[in-house]
Structure 1
Amino acid sequence: MEQNISHKRGPRACAIVLIAALLAMLISSAVGGVIATGGGAVRTEEITFTTDVGALSHAKLYIPVQASAENKLPAVLLCHGYTASLDAMEPNAIELSRRGYVVMALDLYGHGESALPPDGYRQAEMGNVENYAPDLGSYSALQELGKLEYVDAARIGMLGHSMGTAAIQEGAYLAYAKWQAAYTAAQTEAAAAGQDETAAAGAAYLAAMDAGIVLPSSMVLTGYNYNVRNVNDLTYNGVNAENGVFPLYAAPVNMCTIEGDYDEFSGLLWGVDDAARYTTSFKFACGTGGASNVPSGTYFLYGDAAATPLSRAEAVNAAASAAVTMQPIRAAYSFDGTHSDTYYDETAISYGIDFFDITLRGGEATIDPADQVWHGRAACGLIGLTATLTAFVALALTLLRLPFFATIVRPEAPSMSTVTGGKGALKYAALYLIFLLPAPLLYYWLIGYPYYMQPQWFKFLTKFMPNAFFNMAPMNSLMLFNCVVGAVFLALYLLVFFLIAKRAGFGLENTGLKLPAAQVLKSLLLAAVSFGGVYAVVYLCAACSGTHFAFFKFNIMPMDAAHWIAFFKYLPVWILFFLLAGVIYNSLTRINNAPAWVSYLLIAAVSCGGLAVLFAYDYGMLFATGVRGIQYIPGTTSAEWMSTIGMAFPTALAGIMCFGLLFILPISAVMSRVLCRKSGSVWLGGFLTAFIVLVFTISHMVISI
């Protein structure tokens, strides 16, 4: 009787959970949208434009309601990092726009909804090198921003994170190089017409200003070094203290750097392993005109090697007169955080706000930089993300009760694991630990440093280089990891099955795979309908509120056509891996004679336990010493490697990607268990978790080529 009541309550409970999850998605999206727009004080607008090299770029504008042609406001261009899109810059966008700045958040080339440039493009200022546009669209975005009737083109700033910081420096360089070219051409023409040097210079200045080239007057560089080139060939190759030159040194643009004390990329970017000492690097000296070992929060003039501190008032005056004196200000900031924390750290965000207040608004602060509200938007993102993940499963379980799909349901077979006594526990623990080992032992070997940004000509140690079919470097690394680790898991599982389980009387039905082909297809259809139904709500929420479900670096966001095409290319590998994972979770990790909650915990832990230990050691050492525990990809520090390649590759990018896996893997493992428990097979869980994990990883990833 109890079992029948429970069975009857099941569908109703699932429907209630589904309705609650969908309501949470809609409400959190709406509330998040209100917070993102300052309660109506800011309006948002999506725009697209064609860049100087023919690429279609996408951006989002945050426009304070007081902005108008009569009341022009200062503006800031925001550029995100490599494994992100414009939405990652939302905390900065919210805080700047509510303070009266017009904000443009840009999807850089190959990210979000921005395309890569068509083949054969060139930029004259970058040496006319074919297929080379390292500004990634930031130059054209700067020009678009400056043309808006409600923007004061004389007061525009640029803020980037990581790759975005490299991009905005290139975009600013392009702008100043084009301005200088217009100035030089006009000066030559005036001199040829017989004007004296002073008159020619004045005419040239007016002509250059009339050329309509928008120039930034302030830049905030976060999580990246000053772009220092080799003076011999103007590339980034072989740069050192003797041959390094900072291309923007002669531009009257005020700049600050913001670095986390535990930035994982410090060794690669600044040449200093301990990020807390980044101001001692030669690149910092190049970008500041000789300054070194500058205390955090110090304002000083470019070219002042002693970095004589300026008061805030002195910094305001110096910044305002930079175009006349040609001595812009520099500032260096440090905060207690990692590379990715720069996106979301209150202190880091307040530093950027204050620097823009100093350099774009004469020191006026409309709202205290420390007064921040973006946390509410982040909380809504977390609620919405949690609700979305819940809704996927709740919808599947609700539909599973329909007569058409109910035919896939069958009694769940016993697990291969029953633990009785000390010997049984020891045997189970040994197998459990063995299955934990492959992921952490192989992770850094296989993921490598999957940075491939074709317009920048940056191609690092990607173990599975992108190609015309598999065209996303980070996804290729994850696919390689899935394939190799999956093959090891399969071999281990077969050994356990044939050497232990089969001898004990267990068969194919115990794997959860035994299901007629027609029912397998029904499982696939149910997973697709459940995934598609909830994902449609994700699109609806984004369309209505202008926000998506994100918290920190965890998100499920709408995808454009290019990402959907990539989704289906990578999907088969994800399905195979998560089907195999489901078999291991439900037929081997689950313990027959243990409470259900114990099996859930064991399954969640086995999904990511090895990676969690690796991550804890790696970052534990970083926080304890300032240097990561596993700093370089195995094999790249050998003498043979260094003699041929010339550099060891850091594990920084792989470490950041691991953080996302530690979030989604245990969630998907629990999903797999719930769905297997209700359906009696691993097929539904394998299909649905593959869809969910893939969209979680692919929706914000860069399209490399």
Structure 2
Amino acid sequence: MTRKVKWAPLVLAVALLLMIVTAAVGHGIQTSSGTVRTKEITFTTDVGAVSHAKLYIPETATAETPAPAVLLCHGYTASLDAMEPNAIELSRRGYVVMCLDLYGHGESELPAPGYSQAEMGGVEDYAPDLGTYSALQEFAKYDFVDLSRIGMLGHSMGTAAIQEGAYLAYTKWTAAYNAALEEATAAGQDETAAAGTAYQAAMESGIVLPSSMVLTGYNYNVRNINDLTYNGVTAENGVFPLYAAPINMCTIEGTYDEFCELLWGVKDASEYTTSFKFAYGTGGATDVPSGTYFLYGDTSATPLSREEAVEAAASAASTMVPIRAAYSFEGTHSDTYYDETAISYGIDFFDITLRGGQATIDPADQVWHGRAACGLIGLVSALVAFVALALTLLKVPFFATLVRPEPRSITTCDTPAHGLRYAVIYLICLLPAPLLYYWLVGYPYYMQPQWFKFLTKFWPNEVFNMAPMNSLLLFNVVIGVILLAVYAVVFLLIARKAGCGWENTGLKLPVVQVLKALLLAVVSFGLIYAVVYACSGLSGTEFSFFKFHLMPMDAAHWKAFFTYLPVWLFFFLLVSVLFNSFTRINNAPAWLNYVLIAVASCGGLAVMFAYDYGKLFATGVRGIEYIPGTTSAEWLSTIGMTFPTALAGIMLFSLLFILPLAAVANRVLFKKSGSAWLGGFLTAFVVLAFTISEMVINV
């Protein structure tokens, strides 16, 4: 007699083993096989917020041989782990690297209300550097850092933040210089001597200054000269605050960057160097070919050779004429995190500006891919483990009472007419999500310290304190109500007449059994998430890849998790019923039902995404450029600007990944338990953790 293989425990064991192995291997890659030491640090910023960062310290960086250092800053709705590819590549080349969680992101706090910065006009609740100035000053604490060779690299929001941090540093340095100059002049020194004395005093003030910056996925910070805000900036009223600072800078832009029109003012990102903001940041240069080095203020952007760029960069502090460079690569906004070409451009620019042109390792020689692969494999393994553990625990006597025969679906396509009716209703259910997605999600960018509050239908508050999660919450509620209405009509007008009742929904269980299903979901979710914490704590790496994350959460994120949970439970219990009692076809093969359910979860959104990004890749401009309603004359007369679909489009990446996986998991749990409750509970927990674990806290 052949024994039946118990697949669930076997799959669980393999998934757990993969989580552990990928965390360990990822740690080895992150630390360059032990030649780089990592260290978590916290510090209090100039406005009283506690910020969190991670140091990468190569073994070659010592007090005797201090190394150049680079501060890395992520974009909106990300955290320091997003900068890991850059951190790995720079640290293995001998750079000391600090990856920073910006305010409200990762483990960094928001400043308490009432803060201000004198250099920013003393405006209350305004600190647009997001902690980058204070992070820059942290380098002074380490004797293995060469403070004369400091770089900064940011992505998107992080690029805006590092420019503000550098501006603060140079403004404070200039204030120290001017004060010392006045004192030296008053003491009777001549102009030359007083300038020398003032310079020496400013350098001894302890203010750490960056000499090189890499700006990715964002424009030069051009302000409105009338009020020094970023509002209403035009070619006529713009000013670039860092124009007088001897900082060598390069820009790196994807040729399909979704934010280009909003940031640079041109629709096609491949033409970003024609923008007036680019001209301000370069001192007048426009339409510069990718890969060109040139001097600030050279309006013709006369190309410098690499050797000439090295020489000019080294003398920028004395000549006050730094270099500029412009790069483009084939990719979207988010691809900057994970694009070999973009990463190599940043490495080479730092080699030119911080190491005299010397490259210890060829910029194209990159190993971060293995760490990214580990993150993806570990993430998928964790998602599988949640379901595998639940199925394993269903064999435990206490939970075994949950198992019942799977009820029949309310759908049987036994005639062409029934098949056509099913197809029509199926397609109707696919329509609301793509038709309403951009309208409901909007542009949920809300960063109080930067004073950036863009379009969102549900502003963050003390209870629901995450703008992007509020948009997803609104989307879940509206789409859920529409699907519930469609299902009710189908159930009452079609299913009931065919003899299907409440028991076919998978919801008809005694209250005790519902509570057991909830307990099983909680136990399965909690135990596997504990493994996620353990793997992170022991390895220092996360289960993350691109826009996909399942990470340890701090207290603030767990509080938010339980705040948003009721809506996620409503939505995923609803789709559990919809998938298993309607989308599933009784007389269809099992594989086809899995496909139908996966497509039902995101098919409409996938078609919209394919059209939207397909047109972007074909023409350089998105297929759906603007949030509905923001191009009307009434809107423009009130708000003054249209809003792109860029942020909502990027958020869609993660939904198209997690929704079909959750739908298939839901189907597996329903098939094994006969209950819609277990799958609904567990998938709600998992999907919410997936979407919230790295999300920014706005209030």
Q: What residue in structure 1 maps to residue 603 of structure 2?
A: 609
Compute the displacement of 1:145 (Å). 1.9
Q: Offset of 1:238 from its aligned partner?
A: 1.1
Partner SS state of residue 286, structure 2? coil
Tell me how far 1:67 sits from its aligned partner. 1.2
Amino acid at match of 2:21: I
Q: CA deviation at 1:690?
A: 0.4
Q: How does 1:138-287 map to 2 (within 5 A)?
A: 138-287=132-281
Give the aligned partner of residue 520 of structure 2.
526
**Which one-letter code corresponds to 1:419 in the other structure?**
C
Secondary structure of 2:33's aligned partner: helix
Distance 1:146 1:671 in 2: 50
The residue type paired with residue 457 of structure 1 is W
**SS state of the match for residue 75, structure 1?**
strand
Deviations 1:325-353 (A, max 9, x none): 00000000000000000000000000000
Q: Which amino acid aligns with 1:640?
A: E
User: Within the alignment, does 1:126 sit opposite 2:120 as a pair?
Assistant: yes
Q: Does 1:364 align with 2:358?
A: yes
Displacement of 1:650 in angstroms is 0.4
> Structure 2 CA distance, aligned partners of 1:564 and 1:127?
36
- The match for 2:459 is 465
**Given the alignment of the two structures, is residue 93 of structure 1 paired with residue 73 of structure 2, yes or no?**
no
Partner in structure 2 of residue 689 of structure 1 = 683
> Which moves more between the two structures, 109-118 or 402-411?
402-411
Equivalent residue number for residue 416 of structure 1: 410
CA distance in 2, matches of 1:13, 1:681: 20
Provide TM-score, normalisation by structure 2.
0.99
Which of 509, 512, 527 in structure 1 is aligned with 2:503?
509
**CA distance in 2 between partners of 1:94 and 1:344 (Å):** 12
1:349 counterpart = 2:343: yes
Paired with 2:176 and 2:392, the residues of 1 have a C-alpha distance of 66
Distance (Å, rounded) in 1 between the aligned partners of 2:314 and 2:61: 22
- Cα root mean square deviation, aligned: 0.9
CA offsets per residue over residues 46-91 of structure 1, 9 Å max, x none?
0000000000000001110111111100010000000100000000
- Counterpart for residue 57 of structure 2: 63
Q: Distance in 2 between matches of 1:148 and 1:561?
A: 30
Cα displacement string for residues 569-588 of structure 1 (whole angstroms, at most 9, x for unaligned residues): 00010011000010000000
AA of the residue aligned to 2:276:
F
Farther-moved stretch of structure 1 (165-174 vs 183-192): 183-192
CA distance in 2, matches of 1:448, 1:383: 32
Write the deviation string for residues 186-209 of structure 1: whole angstroms up to 9, x where unpaired: 111111222222121111111111
Q: Higher mean Cα deviation, 250-259 or 424-433? A: 424-433
Counterpart in 1 of 2:43? Answer: 49
Residue 472 (structure 2) pairs with residue 478 (structure 1): yes
Which of the numbers 672, 675, 685 marks the counterpart of 2:669? Answer: 675
Partners of 2:409 and 2:537 lie apart in 1 by 45
Of residues 565, 570, 573, the one that matches 2:564 is 570
Q: Which runs of 5+ in 2 are unaligned?
A: none
Query: By how many angstroms is 1:424 displaced?
Result: 1.8
Mean Cα displacement is larger for which, 201-210 or 186-195?
186-195
Q: Secondary structure at the match of 2:672?
A: helix
SS at match of 2:556: helix
Contact 1:147 1:153 in 2 (8 A): no
Match status 1:593 vs 2:604: no
Distance 1:433 1:367 in 2: 54
Q: Does 1:438 align with 2:420?
A: no
Task: Report sequence identity in percent.
Answer: 77
Instruction: Determine if the alignment matches structure 1 residue 628 to structure 2 residue 616.
Output: no
* TM-superposed deviation, 1:146: 3.3
**Equivalent position SS for 1:39:** coil
CA–CA distance in structure 2, aligned partners of residues 676 and 90 of structure 1: 38
The reply to whether residue 375 of structure 1 matches residue 344 of structure 2 is no
Q: Does structure 1 residue 456 correspond to structure 2 residue 450? A: yes
Residue of structure 2 in register with 1:426 after alignment: 420
- Does structure 2 retain, via aligned residues, the 8 Å contact 1:146–1:156? no
1:451 touches 1:458 (CA, 8 Å); kept in 2? yes
Q: Partner letter of residue 596 of structure 1?
A: A
CA–CA distance in structure 2, aligned partners of residues 125 and 110 of structure 1? 22
Instruction: State the 1:147 CA deviation.
Output: 2.7
Provide TM-score, normalisation by structure 1.
0.98
Provide Cα deviations, 1:508-562, integer angstroms capped at 9, x if missing partner: 1111111111111111110010001001011111111110111211110111111
Residues 1:25 and 2:9 aligned together: no
Moved over 2 A (4+): none
Does residue 313 of structure 1 match 2:290?
Answer: no
* Residue 333 (structure 2) aligns with: 339
Q: Give the superposition deviation at 1:504.
A: 1.0
Structure 2: which amino acid aligns with 1:465?
A: W
Amino acid at match of 2:293: Y
Query: Match of 2:18, as an amino acid?
Result: A
CA distance in 2 between partners of 1:652 and 1:356 (Å):
30
Distance 1:524 1:67 in 2: 52
Q: Distance in 2 between matches of 1:515 and 1:290?
A: 71
Letter aligned with residue 692 of structure 1: V
Shift of 1:288: 0.2
Amino acid in structure 2 at the alignment position of 1:274: D
Give aligned pairs, total: 699
How far is the alpha carbon of 1:506 from its aligned partner? Answer: 0.6
Distance 2:436 2:188 in 1: 71
Counterparts of 1:146 and 1:93 in 2: how far apart (Å)? Answer: 19
After superposition, the C-alpha distances for 1:147-178 in whole angstroms (9 at most, x for unaligned) are 31100000010000000000000000000000
Deviations 1:17-52 (A, max 9, x none): 111110000001100110111111101000000000
Q: Corresponding residue for 2:10? A: 16
Separation in 2, partners of 1:357, 1:592? 63
The amino acid that maps onto 1:44 is T
Aligned to 1:328: 322
Aligned to 1:561: 555
User: How far 1:603 sits from its partner (Å)?
Assistant: 0.1
Amino acid in structure 2 at the alignment position of 1:180: T
Q: 1:115 maps to what in 2?
A: 109
DSSP 3-state at the match of 1:38:
coil
CA contact (8 A) 1:157 1:218 kept: yes
In structure 2, give the amino acid aligned to 1:355: F
- For 1:570-618, what per-residue CA distance to the aligned partner results, in whole angstroms no more than 9, with x for missing partners? 0010011000010000000001001111000000001000000010000
Cα distance in 1 for residues equivalent to 2:338 and 2:307:
28
Counterpart selection for 2:31 from 33, 37, 59? 37
Partner residue in 1 for 2:72: 78
Taking the aligned partners of 1:146 and 1:94, their CA distance within structure 2 comes to: 22
Q: Matched residues in 1 for 2:41 and 2:394: separation?
A: 42
Any residues of structure 2 matched to 1:395-410 within 5 Å, and which? 395-410=389-404
8 Å contact kept, 1:42–1:97: yes
* Other structure's SS at 2:294 match: strand
Task: State the shift of 1:406 in Å.
Answer: 1.1
SS of the aligned residue for 1:40 comes to: coil
Q: Tell me the equivalent position of 1:295.
A: 289
In structure 2, what residue type is equivalent to 1:56?
V
- Unaligned runs of 5+ residues in structure 1 are none
| Aligned with 1:643 (options 632, 637, 641) | 637
CA offsets 1:218-237 (integer angstroms, 9 cap, x no match): 00000000000011111111
Deviations 1:120-150 (A, max 9, x none): 1010000000010000000000000233110
